[in-house]
Structure 1
């Protein structure tokens, strides 16, 4: 049994981690760290945990923590985990970071897109990008995981198989992303105010979203084309959970829908959380709600030579906390499905 800590205990990612840790047969939640709510019972912040989770949130103290935990999940805003991870690693603790502090290899790129100083280079070098289905072999041997962002998870799982085959014209990629409001976090803002979001659809952070360099970094790595750039637009939709990426690109050679679906089905045949839809069927966000699945539908248009891929995830599970648990399973030699075999919530 591994003893776990969740740092950043008042956010949606953290409370989803708490739910998943509680049902995991090899994990025990020993503490929740929250600087702003230290000394507060977790059920006071999240009443749905009443009589289920009895934890008083605590301050960060690595000397104390190192005696009672084995793994730390960081569900923190940017700029926080990079200060705490080095202490954890010096004490031999496994670390899974759900923020963006260790995703970008180049410190200057991080500082440009996140507007914070970058993490120490030695820890950027140590971190393994936790896109489980793609980098599983590296994750198995890692002690520091940088959990992917929600949009990159849906995008890269949809693109990388075709990119690695050289079938994608890398200068043609367009990603149209749409996310539920929980992706913006729990902090109150005008942008997520009910009256602003309800019965409304709006684009945000066009050309400036911090997930752009993350997506480009791994597409460049897999395509071996160092100057790859993507057009990436994001939209806020009036629902709590769910994320859809509609991805468009030109083919370098003719491929039918059937050929692409058969290829993707084979690529992901040993990955239980990727589900490829049959020809003519495309996934919806509700079909993965509350689960760790990524569902993918593919259409190759013979008239235009363009491919459309629809990729959907639950932004809080596969896009954050569920993938973190999936990575921990790999790190410790457990079945990747452990604690995650959840039937999606429907309707």
Structure 2
């Protein structure tokens, strides 16, 4: 189902354009051949030109920031919603029916509204919409994403964690009851708002775990694993860490093999699942994925290693948290929703060093 013909640009609005994900969306969509950006919102920056908020975008012809209430929806076909968690449900519920949406917040990622209320501290405010939302892990849910009106863009930690795990669970190669995820993120994952925990002196020259046994991405990861394993009672050990770098994410995952399974079988499963994929790559045996090798790109690099403990394996995956973990995957989903080549606007070579 395409929003526009091959000769007509899709008119796009970015809600919450003054944040990091908004900046990434503008960077990508400015070079997308099928997009015209018609509206950018930023409630506190309304009335300002984009150059005042993001000087690196000053050379480009972009509309000034405005309030959501002032957007002309007759000039919008598609919305990327980068608003804070908890504020998005009512906004999207109020959009005109002709507008399709990719939501980068967590507001529509959890299928069970009771689970959402438990983890986010308030009742879901758009239950009817939640029932129609599609969880947009692009490589896994292409068919559903293609026809959806509302796509919930996955979180960064779930994307990095689920991509290596889903094929292995689906193929019955690893135990669903013994999964440990040790994940690390750059500071941009905390957003652009001023917070004490994001200050330079709080994060530089050190690292720390946070959200220990309580991070909101845990139920999102468990939801995806449950889909792959065909059961709803999966629980994982998941601990995120903040690393003093701007962008990047690594998930190191420890799994137990099923009887008779070896690491070569895991590699075969991953290579088969992602053969021909533009953005997910299984590295050669023994090569460790590094965050610096995906910076600025929509790539996900994965590898699998034999643990020194018999019957166990270690999965390592890396993404750029602002790209495949947020805005890059959102543009990938946009392309799928509109019947475009998935690489449009995303054929960006990683920045190195």
Question: CA offsets per residue over residues 112-153 of structure 1, 9 Å max, x none?
Answer: 111233132211111000000011111111111000000000
Aligned match for 2:228, one of 222, 227, 230: 222
2:56 equivalent among 42, 48, 58: 48
Pairwise CA distance, 1:260: 2.0
Normalising by structure 1, report the TM-score. 0.97
Correspondent of 1:84 among 91, 96, 106: 91
Structure 1 portions without partners, runs of 5+: none
Aligned to 1:202: 208
Q: What does residue 157 of structure 1 align with?
A: 163
Cα RMSD over matched residues? Answer: 1.3
Structure 2 residue 104 is the aligned partner of structure 1 residue 101: no
Partner Cα separation in structure 1 for residue 46 and residue 240 of structure 2: 34
Distance in 2 (CA, whole Å) between partners of 1:56 and 1:268 is: 40
Q: Distance in 2 between the 1:45 and 1:117 partners? A: 33
Secondary structure at 1:169's aligned position in 2?
strand
Partner residue of 2:73?
66
Gaps of 5+ in 2: 1-8
Would the aligned equivalents of 1:43 and 1:54 in 2 still touch at CA under 8 Å? no
- Deviation at 1:8? 0.7
Structure 2 length-normalised TM: 0.95
- 1:245-272 deviations in whole A, cap 9, x for unaligned? 0001101133333332222112111311
Question: Which residue number corresponds to residue 283 of structure 2?
Answer: 277
Aligned counterpart for 1:19 among listed residues 27, 30, 39 = 27
CA contact (8 A) 1:255 1:300 kept: no
1:236 aligned to 238, 242, 247, which one?
242
Aligned to 2:11: 3
The aligned runs of 1:286-305 (5 Å cut-off) are 286-301=292-307, 303-305=309-311
Deviation at 1:303, TM superposition (A): 4.3
Partner of 2:68, secondary structure, is coil
The separation in 2 between residues aligned to 1:221 and 1:105, in whole angstroms, is 11
Distance in 2 (alpha carbons) for counterparts of 1:240 and 1:346: 14
> Do residues 39 (structure 1) and 52 (structure 2) align?
no
Measure, in 2, the Cα distance between the counterparts of 1:23 and 1:258. 40
Aligned length, in residue pairs: 345
SS in 2 for 1:170: strand
